[in-house]
């Protein structure tokens, strides 16, 4: 059948199983939006306040579901407003297809109105970029974009479509979509050697990251840890893969990980690095990281092997497939002496003190978890509140803690929470945890949550300063607080009401408990401002480039 490029665009989205699309209209994409009007019964379009919010929403949708998030923006500033959101998805290996309109092909390269070379701008932060030049190429290019986003190491793909291509016509043949399958080439000898290395270890530790969540390999990872009795630690991107309170769950590793976790890696004789990339927030000093251990790395991306830390053994491929093949080869084991030592260290770990006269972050998060229940999905912005959330949320499920890890994007949270809420619907509460600094970056997305009646609960940790930067200024810059106190007078209750949301102001834990309980019953968005002391610190802390010997405990 003969269709316009715009109708081909809509048909391929339906073909690829896209049910929700985030975006913002403009001149270069008017044909696409006209097609979305006709296909509104099959594709739900969510219009955000800003294109960056749309990109973060598509990202949050993808993180919550494992599906490919889709975002649409017009040419010029619409396209450039996606850049931060695309980069956020790229750094955390999140599958996303970003579709941008552009000026007509005859106007490209002439500095036309709202023209920008978005493919060139985003080339370093996407898995692949396409610029469509002919309408008869559009369908296959869009299909390739979805395939690339989900195949191998996941990530964002950009498709730039000039306006005349969306108006031209071509023959369209529907295709039954095929789920991308990444097949790992398994080497029996390498697997056997890895199993032997694991079997010979006396002080093993599993260190895993977001690749385990992306591969849906949580069950296999836990089966390995259980079978060989190997304690496990995780990066921020993998929170929830192992359940809170499990004896084998050591907790967070790295700059703000607990002392036991960092000490266990320091004293281990084997580190199994699974689906993780040895970032500088974990392997802060690559010369000293796991200095007593052999390292076995499992990762889907061969470029990650030996990139940041030299490893002794490696298995390249999909984590789930490798663990499934490795498990039968690994012998049952007990490491009683090692586990006893770890338990002794845990008894001496840093524990913040409770206070009934003010709101302490750990108590606030504990109360939040208690009231929200185990099915809650948490989304954070970036800063101190993010690290407190990582440390103290009682993580029990994968894809239940969404945060910007690699890029550290302030303003990520509200858009991502909106995307996550649209993904999970009424089945789960979605809690957006933010700081006053991060929240000011994209709080305009409140109008989106109100318009679509999304009961996202936003908890604002308001210490009136840029807390994480101020913490560094306290520790390393002689308390010279340069530009970390913005002196804002924002009244969050009135602002929430101005948007059409509910707002609460809390200065005690009891006040928060009451407000949060009410928020859980709300049919629309709620903001809860919690007053936090500006001198609250995220502890423990290892300075950048340091090791466990440099850990700051108070």
Give the number of other Cβ atoms within 10 Å of residue 515's Cβ.
22
Which residue of the set 38, 113, 310, 337 is catalytic? Answer: 113
Output phi, psi for 347, to 5 deg: -65, -20
As a whole number of angstroms, the distance between CA 415 and CA 48 comes to: 8
Q: What is the dihedral of CA 139, 140, 146, 147, to 10 degrees?
A: 160
Torsion angle, alpha carbons of 398, 400, 404, 410, to 10: -170
* CA nearest to 282, candidates 319, 306, 309, 313: 309
Gap between the Cα atoms of 465 and 195, Å rounded: 50
**DSSP single-letter state for residue 141:** H
Contacts of 516 (CB under 8 A, 6+ apart): 367, 368, 371, 372, 457, 459, 528
End-to-end CA distance of the chain: 69
Residue 552 is classified by DSSP as B
- Residue indicated by tokens 């071509």: 170
Classify residue 170 as exposed, middle or buried by CB count within 10 Å of its CB (0-12, 13-18, 19+).
middle
Cβ pair 215, 300 in contact under 8 A: yes
The alpha carbon of residue 485 and the mean position of all alpha carbons in its chain are separated, in whole angstroms, by: 28
Q: Is 356 a catalytic residue?
A: no
Closest CA to 432 of 404, 396, 406: 404
Helix or strand (DSSP H, E) at 526: strand 526-531
Residue with tokens 């996202």: 456
Closest to 162 measured CA to CA, from 105, 97, 77: 105
Active-site pick, 11, 51, 115, 220: 51
Task: Report the SS3 class of residue 205.
Answer: strand
Say if CB 153 and CB 301 are below 8 A apart: yes
At residue 461, the 3 state secondary structure works out as strand
387 is catalytic: no
Is there a catalytic annotation at residue 468? Answer: yes
Count of positions (residues) in the chain: 554
Max Cα distance, the chain (Å): 73
- How far is Cα 192 from Cα 187, in angstroms, rounded to an integer? 9
Question: Active site residue: 96, 468, 541, 551, which one?
Answer: 468
Catalytic residue chosen out of the listed positions 67, 127, 154, 163: 163
Closest CA to 268 of 281, 253, 284, 280: 253
Beta carbons of 526 and 493 less than 8 angstroms apart: no
**Where in the sequence numbering do the catalytic residues fall?**
51, 113-114, 163, 468
């Amino acid at each position: 059948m003969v269709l316009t490029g715009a109708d081909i665009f809509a048909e391929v989205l339906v073909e690829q199983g896209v049910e929700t699309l985030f975006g913002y209209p403009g001149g270069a994409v008017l044909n696409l939006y006209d097609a979305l009007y006709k296909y509104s019964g099959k594709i739900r379009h969510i219009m955000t306040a800003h294109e960056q919010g749309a990109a973060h929403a598509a990202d949050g949708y993808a993180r919550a579901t494992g599906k490919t998030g889709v975002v649409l923006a017009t040419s010029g500033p619409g396209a450039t407003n996606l850049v931060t959101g695309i980069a956020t998805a790229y750094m955390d290996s999140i599958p996303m297809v970003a579709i941008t309109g552009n000026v007509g092909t005859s106007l490209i390269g002439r500095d036309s109105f709202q023209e920008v070379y978005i493919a060139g701008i985003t080339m370093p932060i996407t898995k692949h970029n396409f610029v469509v030049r002919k309408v008869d190429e559009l369908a296959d290019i869009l299909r390739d974009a979805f395939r690339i986003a989900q195949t191998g190491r996941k990530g964002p793909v950009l498709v730039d479509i000039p306006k005349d291509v969306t108006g031209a016509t071509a023959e369209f043949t529907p295709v039954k979509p095929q789920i991308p399958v990444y097949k790992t080439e398994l080497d029996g000898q390498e697997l056997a050697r890895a199993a032997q290395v694991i079997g010979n270890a006396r002080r093993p530790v599993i260190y895993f990251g977001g690749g385990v969540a992306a591969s849906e390999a949580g069950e296999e990872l836990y089966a390995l840890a259980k079978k060989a009795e190997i304690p496990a630690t995780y990066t921020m991107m993998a929170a929830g893969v192992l359940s809170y309170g499990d004896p084998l769950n050591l907790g967070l590793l790295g700059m703000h990980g607990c002392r036991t976790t960092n000490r266990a890696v320091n004293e281990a004789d084997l580190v199994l690095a699974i689906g993780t990339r040895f970032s500088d927030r974990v392997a802060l000093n690559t010369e000293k990281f796991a200095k007593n251990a052999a390292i076995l790395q499992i990762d889907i991306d061969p470029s990650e092997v030996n990139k940041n830390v030299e490893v002794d053994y490696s298995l390249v491929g999909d984590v789930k497939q490798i663990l499934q093949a490795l498990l039968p080869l690994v012998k049952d084991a007990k490491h009683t002496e090692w586990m006893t030592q770890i338990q002794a260290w845990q008894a001496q770990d840093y524990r913040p003190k409770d206070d009934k006269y003010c709101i302490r972050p750990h108590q606030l998060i504990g109360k939040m978890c208690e009231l929200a229940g185990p099915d809650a999905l948490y989304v954070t912005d970036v800063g101190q509140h993010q690290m407190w959330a990582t440390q103290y949320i009682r993580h029990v499920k994968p894809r239940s803690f969404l945060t910007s890890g690699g890029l550290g994007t302030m303003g990520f949270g509200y858009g991502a929470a909106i995307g996550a809420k649209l993904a999970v619907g009424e089945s789960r509460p979605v809690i957006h945890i933010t700081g006053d600094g991060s929240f000011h970056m994209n709080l305009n997305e409140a109008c989106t949550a109100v318009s679509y009646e999304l009961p996202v609960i936003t908890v604002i940790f308001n210490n009136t300063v840029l807390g994480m930067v101020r913490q560094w200024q306290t520790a390393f810059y002689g308390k010279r607080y340069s530009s970390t106190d913005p002196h804002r007078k924002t009244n969050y209750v009135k602002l929430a009401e101005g948007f059409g949301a509910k707002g609460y102001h809390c200065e005690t834990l009891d006040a928060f408990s009451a407000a949060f309980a009410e928020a859980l019953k709300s049919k629309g968005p709620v903001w809860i401002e919690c007053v936090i002391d500006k001198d609250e610190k995220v502890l423990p802390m290892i300075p950048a480039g340091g090791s466990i010997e440099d850990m700051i405990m108070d």
